[in-house]
A and B are shown apart, each in its own frame.
Chain A
Amino acid sequence: MAKKNVSVWTSIPFWRRSAAWVTGFAVMLLIWLSFDTLGQISMGTDEDLKAGTTKRVPAPTVINYNIDYKMDKKRGSEVPVIGAKEPFFGKEWSVEEAADLLHLGKLTSQAKNCMNCHTLLGNGAYFAPDLTKSWLDPMWSATGPMQAMTGKPTKEEAMAEFLINPSQYPTHARMMPNLGITAEEAVGLVAFLKHMSSIDTNGFPRNFSKTVDQFKVGGTNAR
């Protein structure tokens, strides 16, 4: 414009500069926070697990431990609690074995497109249950129906059997289709799910542990 601006509020250069500064500031802050977050969500190590050091995302060897999801009074929400060692598919997995298994499970979860029916950490599609804490779901516990239905003595074996032949074990009219998951891939997927249940999700999904207890005593959830 040839004419001099009457006010700074109608000056294009003023708004252009402001836009650049605000955007630049927001981006710098995002990058700075991202560095902090990436440090906090990088996977822990087997040593952390042995020492009982809490990590937001534990090492793959967390599959060798019992995992619970308990109300933490201080935080006001449920948090994953890693307990004593327990066998996973009847054995303890070494650091390398556990890492390979998790790798296979994560790859399979993507190749089979889990996320376009289920939600993982709450993200995905809304056609099937959320998988964030599915390892802890009462359906799979010793008192739940799935172990009896699949005829398997442990939670992990029942889950693997279901994943291999999902439409053989219908629980509702809406069923999971057969995706050609092999026995090996199924073990990987169960490891992936168990690992995911150990991630500190700031209390999401809320009330999950409450209903687990209700379920155990034949509460409202056990219809």
Chain B
Amino acid sequence: MLASIKTNSLTNEGQKLGMMYFRVAIILFGAQLLMGLIAAIQFLVPGFLFEIFDFSVARMVHINALVVWMLYAMIGSVYMMITDETGVETVGIKLGKLGFWVLTAAVTVVVLVYIFVQVGAGTEASIWLIHEGREYIEAPRWADIGIVVVVLIFYWNVFASYMAGKQTGIMTVMVANLMALAGLYLAGMFFTDNISMDQFWWWWVIHLWVEATWEVFVGTLAAYALIRLIGAKREIVEMWLWIEVLMLFGSGVLGMGHHYFWIGTPEYWWEIGALFSALEPVPLIAMFVHVLYDWGKEQGMAHGRGEEGNVVTNGPAMAWIVTNAFGNFLGAGVWGFFHTLPQVNIYTHGTQFTAAHGHLAFFGAYATILIGMMYYGVQKAHGVERMAMNFKSKMGIFLITFGVLGMTVALTIAGYEQVLVERAELGGTWNAFFIAQELPWYIQAQLWRTIMGVVTLVGFIYLVWDLLTIGKESQKEEV
């Protein structure tokens, strides 16, 4: 089994590096789930690891592992596609490999400091060396600078290969979007005493990542994957990609307003945020329709040509990409729309409603397609023509999807109770918070969240097992 970790059939250096990124990503994904489980238990058993490994630590590692594993898998996916799209070997690959090791060493140090140092004194040194205490972008300042350097190397790899090779529409969107994605990180790298100013710029990173540039990234990956997995026609896929860019940026950039309702910013963001963020689900519907339509069309055309069998050359990858198409719409679109209007958001802001949306959106929009890309990488690494779903792949996708959906529903119910009791009825004070937290309905919801978290973890174990074995098994079958 361990031999299959080696990328034996790959000759392309960029793709080998992509596989290295995938491996770290899946380890961090596991860390994310374990930390989530600890935090979930702490809701039910308040004394669990109290003053040893507190909720704040578990939660910080939970969301940081999430962000970092996704960035790793995103970088990995780009290295997988560079040569396929440009037709040239990745330019500056040696530097790229060095960047990988520097980044991985830095991530390891950061996580160890999070876990063992946990908090610092109220000084600048803590912000530079331990963590910044700003949700999602907690990485200490030294690591921020390191991340910027490594990302610049990665961007050089992508940009130089793009300039040296073919400049496809997919790659053009990728290069432009990655520049915005990387540049936005800079908006989160400063300290201010003004908490409103702090959160204003903090959202430039968080929102313009997950509701704009990451979404366009997903659209670009899906376009590439459709060509590779079902042989979709490039002209159609690229035209759709431009339409998606138009709609995603057209709604997502000003959709930022929905984070500026209550942080001290002026009231005009109510109207701007409501209007543009209400439009945000539209491109997500379009992406869903696009994936299913193209699949049906390619399958139908294959039948028309008298070909038997499935047009999909990688079953598990395609299954995850279809889950992405629907999960993105459901998690980011529907669950986001639930609480995006200010009239609703004044009661839902800062409740488990947000957590419910966060879980389904990060999973549906990002985790799914990145796992799909990992399966695609495994297929390439083993040089197999066709890779079909087996029992482990099915258990993996079913249990993870079912688990995350279950967590989302449970958290939505918890959030609903919180909105009505803590916010609408009691006004959101200290006592109001705890009265809502201690109601049986809330506790039941948290219990179900934890159970569904365990289901997700079991699915994850199947997923890893499958990723480690499916390549070899498919190889044997093909021989």
B431 contacts which chain A residues (CB < 8 A)? 138-139, 215, 221-223
Q: Does B296 contact A (CB under 8 A)?
A: no
B122 contacts which chain A residues (CB < 8 A)? 104-105, 107-108, 111-112, 181-182, 185, 188
Cα distance, A139 to B198, chains bound together (Å): 28
User: When A12-B235, A111-B122 are in contact, do A199 and B195 touch as well, CB less than 8 Å?
Assistant: yes
Q: Does A175 contact B (CB under 8 A)?
A: yes
Distance from B193 Cβ to chain A, minimum over Cβ atoms (Å): 5
A19 contacts which chain B residues (CB < 8 A)? 242-243, 245-246, 249
Count the A residues whose beta carbon is within 8 Å of the partner chain — how many? Answer: 96
Tell me the residues in window 402-446 of chain B with beta carbons closer than 8 Å to chain A beta carbons. Answer: 423-424, 426-435, 437-438
Cα distance, A200 to B289, chains bound together (Å): 43
Query: How many residues of B sit at the interface, in one of the four size bands?
Result: 35 or more
Cα distance, A56 to B195, chains bound together (Å): 12
B349 contacts which chain A residues (CB < 8 A)? 122, 204
Instruction: Give 14 pairs: A residue, B residue, CB < 8 Å, sorted on A.
Output: A15-B239, A19-B245, A106-B195, A116-B55, A116-B135, A116-B138, A125-B56, A138-B430, A171-B430, A174-B46, A175-B46, A192-B195, A207-B426, A223-B435
Please tell me if the beta carbons of B430 and A107 are within 8 angstroms of each other in the complex.
Answer: no
Cα distance, A92 to B119, chains bound together (Å): 31
Closest to A117 in B: B56
Please tell me if the beta carbons of A57 and B194 are within 8 angstroms of each other in the complex.
Answer: yes
Cα distance, A19 to B220, chains bound together (Å): 14
Please tell me if the beta carbons of B121 and A207 are within 8 angstroms of each other in the complex.
Answer: no
Interface string of B243-254 (1 = CB under 8 A from A): 101100110011
Closest to B348 in A: A122
Please tell me if the beta carbons of B427 and A207 are within 8 angstroms of each other in the complex.
Answer: yes
Which of the 9-residue segments A45-53, A83-91, A127-135, A148-156 touches chain B?
Answer: A127-135
Please tell me if the beta carbons of A110 and B428 are within 8 angstroms of each other in the complex.
Answer: no
Measured CB to CB, the residues of B under 8 A from A are 39, 42-43, 46-47, 50-51, 54-57, 59-60, 118-124, 126-127, 130-135, 138, 169, 191-200, 202, 235, 238-239, 242-243, 245-246, 249-250, 253-254, 256, 260-270, 272, 346-347, 349-352, 354-355, 423-424, 426-435, 437-438
Please tell me if the beta carbons of A41 and B133 are within 8 angstroms of each other in the complex.
Answer: no
Please tell me if the beta carbons of B243 and A111 are within 8 angstroms of each other in the complex.
Answer: no
Distance from B263 Cβ to chain A, minimum over Cβ atoms (Å): 5
